[in-house]
Amino acid sequence: MEVYGRHTWYLTQELVTLALVSSLVDPPTKRRMADVIHEYATEQATATRMGKPDLPTLPTEAGQVKALELDDFIGPKSRTVFGVLGISAGFLRKPLPWDGDPDFDRLATFVLHLRVTNDTAERGVKLISDFIGHITTSDFELQELLQVVEAHRQRYPDYSKATLSAAV
């Protein structure tokens, strides 16, 4: 049960909408998702807020997680992506497939180019771990190296030509 709970990040009201562009989601499921999204008729919930999302709770019965469908995770915040991208959810009323609709195509392009933060963070941790292991095995030298890196980042906050040429 705890393992399932760690994967509910992908099922938040804001993110479950992204499944509409997946080829792994069958058309009847997409249709049900679209219908539930339209039950939340207003274009509210377009404002984003910082912080952790509200994770859905998985209903259980006799200690087992109940079978749920993607449309069970749709809610008022599921329209957020449309507001953020400035697109209309009107294509959801059209018959499937939605390919060729400009709003759907914009959503699909956004989803295809969306970087998964967790994957990026894990690669960064792996990269720094490997780097540190090759550079030094001494904790003292490691702390010195990290302080040098921090001082360099403060001195050069970005890599623009203006910042770098001002240092010369």
Q: Please name the residue that has the structure tokens 């989601």.
A: 25
8-17, 29-38, 80-89, 94-103: segment of lowest average pLDDT: 8-17
What is the reported pTM? 0.63
Q: What are the residues whose beta carbons fall under 8 Å from the beta carbon of 54, sequence distance 6 or more?
A: 12, 13, 77
Residue 2 banded pLDDT, cuts 50, 70, 90: low
φ, ψ for residue 101 (rounded to 5)?
Answer: -75, 130
Q: What is the pLDDT of residue 30?
A: 96
Position 88 scores a pLDDT of: 92
Residue with the bigger pLDDT between 18 and 49: it is: 18
pLDDT digits (tens, 9 = 90+) for 97-115: 999 999 999 999 999 998 7
User: Residue 139's pLDDT is what?
Assistant: 82
pLDDT computed for residue 21 by the predictor? 95
Q: What's the pLDDT at 112?
A: 92
Rg (CA), the chain: 22
Amino acid (one-letter) located at 134: H
pLDDT at res. 37: 93
* List of residues 6+ apart from 79 with CB closer than 8 A: 17, 37, 40, 43, 44, 45, 46, 89
Find, among 100, 99, 113, the residue nearest to 21 by Cα: 99
Domain ranges of the chain: 2-114, 118-166
Per-residue model confidence (pLDDT) at position 168: 67
Instruction: Say how far apart CA 138 and CA 152 lie, in whole Å.
Output: 21
At 119-162, the pLDDT tens digits run 667 777 788 777 777 877 788 888 888 898 889 888 888 878 88
Contact indicator for 13, 74 with CB cutoff of 8 Å: yes
Tell me how far apart the alpha carbons of residues 67 and 44 are, in angstroms, rounded to a whole number.
Answer: 29
pLDDT digits (tens, 9 = 90+) for 39-95: 886 545 445 566 677 777 777 777 676 778 899 889 888 998 998 999 999 999 999
Cα 67-70-75 angle, rounded to 5 deg? 115
C-alpha distances (whole Å) from 50 to each of 28, 47, 53, 63, 70 are 33, 10, 8, 33, 24
- Residue 162 is predicted with a pLDDT of 82
Q: 95 preceded by cis ω (within 30°)?
A: no
